[in-house]
Amino acid sequence: MKQWAVVLAVLYVVYGGLLMGFQERLIFPRNVPGARDSRAPVPPGWEALEVLGNDGSRVPAWLKLPEQRGAGENVPAVVFFHGNAEVIDDIADSDEVEMYPAMGAAVLLVEYRGYGRAGGAPSEKAIVADSVRFVDMLLKREEIDGTRVVFHGRSLGGGAACAVAKHRPPRAMVLQSTFYSLRSMAAGFGAPGFLVRHPFRNDESVREFDGPILFMHGTEDNVIACSNTQRLAAIARHGRVVTQTCGHNDFPADMAAYRREVEAFLRENGVVGGEE
């Protein structure tokens, strides 16, 4: 029995070491099959922004203003943080992104280091540092109403949105198909949380955030279980949960209903206005 206990202990230590060594590949899979050519020109209607990381890497973001904007009008803005297996080139023309300019809001797509057009290597610290700088650039724009900025985070992007919100609290947040924390998810791999170098403590951010949060999740999600959203909503000060019967990669299954929920949430909280 003692020999078996020693063997199991050694195997567990080896397993923990492998997780430590390969966790960046697990958390930040950057080789996106079928991704669009990142050398292509920035799509029409988008303005390219850029920050220089502390490692010297160039990190892009794209900004799009609504077409219907009065002279001198300040518009709300949504900072969209994408998920894994995505880059900003792939989501710029997606319905989830394009709905925001149609609502009268600007949208800022933030890239992560090591993804798509960005240099360097991803980490929670790098993503937060770069994103905070992009948010600051956004807030300085004369076209943007800095009191009506919303963060929308999908999957891994929910972790980015929550982490950035600790430094630059937005008016509201939309958290879609995201996790309670990556530290808590490590338990699902049989690993102690302290081994996680990029914990993305969404639970801490949600608990501290005083603004409204719209939580959205697929009830059949087998990548990040819907229970993650239910747990986050339980500790949120002002949260509402909307679910659809679908999984992780096919959310939303009903785009029209999804858009109605998001737009109603933004209207209720004074982000967008106008006639219904």
Output the 3-class SS for 74-99: CEEEEEEECCCCCCHHHHCCCHHHHH
pLDDT computed for residue 182 by the predictor: 80
H or E segment to which residue 202 belongs:
helix 202-208
Sheet containing 213-218: which strands, arranged edge to edge? 47-52, 58-64, 106-110, 75-81, 144-154, 172-176, 213-218, 239-244
CA pseudo-torsion sign 206, 167, 47, 41: negative
Q: Rounded to the nearest 5 degrees, what angle is found at the Cα of 151, between the Cα atoms of 215 and 232?
A: 30
Give the pTM.
Answer: 0.88
* Alpha carbons 237 and 253: distance in angstroms, whole number: 28
Question: Which DSSP state fits 224?
Answer: S
pLDDT computed for residue 215 by the predictor: 98
pLDDT computed for residue 84 by the predictor: 87
Rg over alpha carbons for the chain, rounded to the nearest Å, is 19
| Residue with token string 């292509």 | 40
pLDDT computed for residue 10 by the predictor: 42
CA pseudo-torsion sign 202, 210, 128, 149: positive
pLDDT computed for residue 248 by the predictor: 97
Q: Could you tell me the CATH superfamily of domain 44-268?
A: Alpha/Beta hydrolase fold, catalytic domain (3.40.50.1820)
pLDDT computed for residue 198 by the predictor: 76
pLDDT computed for residue 235 by the predictor: 98
Can you list the residues of the chain whose pLDDT is less than 50?
A: 6-18, 20-22, 275-276
Render the burial of 170-181: b for 16+ CB within 10 Å, e for the rest.
bbbbbbbbbbbb
Partners of 240 in beta bridges: 214
Helix, strand, or coil here: 115?
A: coil
